[in-house]
Structure 1
Amino acid sequence: MTKADIVEAVYREIGVAKKEAAIIVDTVFEAIRAKLEGGESVKISRFGNFNIRNKVPRRGRNPKTGEEIEITARKVLTFKPSQILRERVRDGQTD
């Protein structure tokens, strides 16, 4: 699914102009991005949780050469689906 598909779904579901649907989708994505960028979690009821997780530096190995390297500390985005979403995907339900 692409952003254009989401805009199309919003357009069909609530009956606003496609340009307005695109603004709505962009606004929602921007709000989610801003909260995550600020280090906050985003919880969407019946869908799931987006979190930023800090990973500590660690030793790793280059699989090609076998050379040991330092993997730097970084932030990663994680998503944990809600139980409802997991069950619906598992059972193949659509609405």
Structure 2
Amino acid sequence: MNKAEIITAIADELMLTKRSVEEIINLFCDTVIETLAKGEEVKLTGFGTFQTRERKERRGVSPQTGAEIVIPSGRTIVFKPSKLLKEKVQ
């Protein structure tokens, strides 16, 4: 399911315009991005938690040349699903 399909499903379920649902989803995504960029976590009860983690510098292999390279340290985003989400998916 992509963003457009989610917008349509929500708009149909709640009898709202697709445009208003799209604005809400865009605002939600922007808020999550801004919160993560500040290093804070986003907890959605019954869904899961988004947070950033520091990754250490590590060695890797270039897929183009096969040469060993150093991958610099940096932040990455992780998602931990809630117990409810895990149960529903299984």
Q: TM-score, normalised by structure 2?
A: 0.86
Aligned-partner SS, 1:9:
helix
Displacement of 1:58 after TM fit?
2.1
Aligned-partner SS, 1:39:
coil
Q: Give 1:12's aligned residue.
A: 12
Equivalenced residue count is: 90
Judged with a 3 Å threshold, the aligned counterparts in structure 2 of structure 1 residues 38 and 67 are, in CA distance, closer, same or farther, namely: same
Identity %: 37
Q: Give 1:93's aligned residue.
A: none
Task: Compute the RMSD of aligned alpha carbons.
Answer: 1.8
Residue 30 (structure 1) aligned with residue 22 (structure 2):
no
Structure 1: which 5+ runs fail to align?
91-95
Q: TM-score, normalised by structure 1?
A: 0.82
Structure 2: which 5+ runs fail to align?
none
Please say if residues 36 and 42 of structure 1, whose CA atoms lie closer than 8 Å, have aligned partners that are also in contact.
Answer: yes
Q: Give 1:75's aligned residue.
A: 75
